[in-house]
Chains A and B, each alone.
Chain A
Amino acid sequence: MFGRLGVMLMKEFIELKRDRWAMFRLIVPLLVQLFAFGYAATFTVTRVSTVILDLDQSQASRALISHFTATGIFDIVDVATDQRQITRDLNQGTATLAIVIHARFAANLANGKEAPLQVIVDGTNSNTALIALGYVSQIVALFQEDEAAHLLPASAGASAAPGTLTLSLQYQPWFNAGLSDRWFFIPGIIGTLILVQIVGLTAFAVVREREVGTLEQILVSPISSFEFILGKTVPFFLIGLADVALISIVGILWFGVPFVGNPFLMLLGSSLFLLSVLGLGLLLSTFSQTQQQAFALNFFLLNPFFILSGFAFPIAAMPRILQWFTYLNPLRYFLVVIRALFLKGVGFWTLFPDFAAMFLLGTGALAISMMRFSKSLD
């Protein structure tokens, strides 16, 4: 037995299934944007301006430097002669990274002692610094393998193993990155992409029925606007949840973002966020007669939602009046929730105000949409 809601849902799913490009349109832009954002936020570090101070001037130290230059990631902008020059380069922003090879580097390495390598990073851009550091350790590991291969035949029979190269890392004093800084962006991307996709899908789906004329045929039937709206939104709710899962999994597995929170809280937070986003999409659809209008409205609205969410620009730094606007932005709350769950693993009550805000925004938008929906008959 199907109720009216049942046939609505069935129709939506058949249409979705029959739309050969639906899966493509639903998934590919999400992944493309996730990777674009993900790499922009993390791995676009291809030319790290680097200053080198080689106090050893040995064959080994030159071999290490050539390992750095060979990758193309490190752009040697300066070869310093003393420590003061390095500090000046970093302070002036000429270089982001400094590599210091101390005297006796080669000797220590050959004698099986610790050969320290000092790396100093400019911490203002924590992402760049951290990624650069990742590369440094990879290169150092590679260098050590090569050196071991060289040294072993030379010291054949001798008991001495090659020395270990120890990395010592040093931040400039203003660098104060907590652990959470590192993965700040990827969780934020999840919320932003969901907002863009689901608002658009919902608004277009309703406006398309209006444009094609099927909406009038539905309105003249005994279906209530509640049943119609539910039938129209449930599929997108499920799509939205699948989106969250997909992006989260890619974020965790591919980008290595830690997830330390409770998955059920994540489900709850995502559901409430989707509620508010679906409400927003429906509200938008009640202001649009054609898909073109919906597209323009969507485009016009999403930018402020994105900018005033705390995704890239801290809310505390905004003018007071814009700060007020952020309270109406569901993305603001979801970003708090998703970052907290991914990175800090906080509990329900800590996030309760954000959950409540999304719930109120969602039900409010849905209620207004429903009212506007029945009024649209006049």
Chain B
Amino acid sequence: MSAAPPSVLTEGLTKIFGRFTAVDHIDLSIATGEVMGFIGPNGAGKSTTIRMLCGLLRPSAGRAVVAGFDVARKPEAVRAHIGYMSQKFSLYGDLTVRENLRFFGGLYSVRQSEMAERMRFAITMAGLEGRENALVNTLAGGWKQRLALGCAILHRPPVLFLDEPTSGVEPEARRRFWDLIHDLAAGGVTILVSTHYMDEAEYCNRVALIDRGRLAAIGTPSELRGHALGGALFELACSPLGAALAALHRAPGVIEANVFGDRLHVLLADASAAASLHTLLAAANVRAEAPRPIAPSLEDAFVRLVTRTRRPEAAS
């Protein structure tokens, strides 16, 4: 841990809607200049957490400090120091690129002397040179998304919250967007970015996995990949999958078996048990090729971590 205080810190952050706990005691610490991925299925509580960090929702319990300000006590100070892209696309479609930039720059009181330079920067970043006077409605998704990012950083916020910025954008534009995120982080901006695309976790310095309002795991992608599993992962081509799964779930030494595409991923407590899989499956009338050891994808790790954190709940 570095000596500098984290840019974003939450302790037991909780949000309860009526009787439903949407965010359940989340502890996070994001260092300055770090890109933190916020990953989880729909309804996991990502947006709710981010909205609390922006001062848009009051936490039900716990606390959060953003850019040195407590979000519950100093929401105005927090707002002046963050950039936020909400999950909904939210620029004015009936205004031009330039008018949107000028509007958001004005909201954040970007100084007039700086405005021209900041606008030029945002336009270049979004790749919108020559389309400054186009109505935003007429732009394709990727451009809109990059323009929204441009609007969110006009006032040079040290902390940036991006809520599923790449959802609904074509892969090429998504990659470009992540390049921008890394450029900003290289400039010292702290970024919390949520996504439900598992593959995007690889682009993050660290990843927080959130499921049903709880923090299921947190770490670098390789940490999560390596340690989270607690075993050796094998890919198994076999058929029928259903019978194979049933047999594997009963077998000793098998921690996990899941369907991935037309194959199974099997997590074994001990890699040496792989050899005995074939006879085990044959006994269950399953045709199977030899198991192939694989480096677990982040997706494997997440599925694994989520099942592990859910288990105590199911037992109780």
Give A residues with C-beta under 8 Å from B: 1-2, 4, 6-8, 10-11, 14-15, 18-19, 212-214, 216-223, 377-378
The answer to whether B58 touches A11 (Cβ under 8 A) is: no
Q: Is B248 an interface residue (CB 8 A)?
A: no
The answer to whether A212 touches B104 (Cβ under 8 A) is: no
B interface residue count range (under 10 / 10 to 19 / 20 to 34 / 35 or more): 20 to 34
Q: Assess A216 versus B90: contact at CB under 8 Å? Given A11-B95, A221-B108.
A: yes
The answer to whether A11 touches B99 (Cβ under 8 A) is: yes
Q: Is B76 an interface residue (CB 8 A)?
A: yes
Q: Is B210 an interface residue (CB 8 A)?
A: no
Query: Nearest 10 A-B pairs (CB), nearest first?
Result: A7-B106, A213-B88, A213-B90, A221-B107, A217-B90, A220-B84, A214-B90, A216-B86, A11-B103, A222-B80
CB distance from B79 to the nearest CB of A (A): 5
The answer to whether A220 touches B82 (Cβ under 8 A) is: yes
The answer to whether B94 touches A15 (Cβ under 8 A) is: yes
> Which of B88, B94, B102, B104 makes the CB contact (< 8 A) with A221?
B104
What is the interface of chain A mostly: helix, strand, loop, or mixed?
helix
Among residues of A, the one whose C-beta sits closest to the C-beta of B80 is: A222
In the complex, what distance in Å separates the CA atom of A216 from the CA atom of B102?
18
In the complex, what distance in Å separates the CA atom of A201 from the CA atom of B204?
45
Give B residues with C-beta under 8 Å from A: 54-58, 76, 79-80, 82, 84, 86, 88-95, 99, 102-109, 112
Contacts of A221 in B (CB 8 A): 79, 104, 107-108
CB distance from A57 to the nearest CB of B (A): 74
The answer to whether A2 touches B94 (Cβ under 8 A) is: no
Q: Assess A222 versus B108: contact at CB under 8 Å? Given A213-B86, A216-B86.
A: yes
Q: Assess A212 versus B109: contact at CB under 8 Å? Given A14-B99, A19-B94, A220-B56.
A: no
The answer to whether A4 touches B58 (Cβ under 8 A) is: no
Among residues of A, the one whose C-beta sits closest to the C-beta of B88 is: A213
CB distance from A139 to the nearest CB of B (A): 55
The answer to whether A4 touches B109 (Cβ under 8 A) is: yes
CB distance from B179 to the nearest CB of A (A): 24
The answer to whether B102 touches A378 (Cβ under 8 A) is: no
In the complex, what distance in Å separates the CA atom of A217 from the CA atom of B82?
12
Contacts of B95 in A (CB 8 A): 11, 14-15, 18
Among residues of B, the one whose C-beta sits closest to the C-beta of A6 is: B106
